Amino acid sequence: TERVLSVILDRDAAKWFKPGRGQFQLFYKWGAEQREYQPDFVAETEDAIYMLEPKARNDLQDGEVIAKKDSAIRWCQYATDHAAKNRGKPWTYLLIPHDAIAENMTLKGLVAQFAVR
C-alpha cells in the first residue's frame, strides 16, 4: 500500500516525504501516556499540504487510530491557521483505507474521498 501511494505522490505531488521521528512534534493521548505520532506521508501540491495515513480498513475504528487522527486534525488546523497569517498553504489530514489505494488513483481523488476535517 505504501509503495503504491508513493507512486501516486511521485506523479501528483510537487514534493513529498516520509516524516522522521520528532519532525512534527505531534502527540496524542493514549490511556495515561502521551505518545508521539508520525504520519506515513506528507505531500505538497500547488495549493495545499497533506498529511496522509494509509491504514488497514479494519483498523479505521480502532481507538488508537482515532486518537492519532484527532491529534493530526488539530495539528493541521493549527498549521493552517498559522499559514493563513503568513501566506502559506492549508494543511489537510487524510486517513485512507488501504484497499482504496490503487495506482490509477490520483492525489486529488484521494483528497476528495478521504480528507478528514
- Per-residue pLDDT tens digits for 44-89: 999 999 999 999 999 999 999 999 999 999 999 999 999 999 999 9
- Does pLDDT of 26 surpass 90? yes
Burial of 83 (0-12, 13-18, 19+ CB in 10 A): middle
Phi-psi region of 31 (alpha: psi -120 to 50; beta: other; left: phi over 0): left
The pLDDT value given to residue 117: 81
What are φ and ψ of residue 16, in 5° steps?
-155, 160
In terms of pTM, does the model score above 0.85?
A: yes
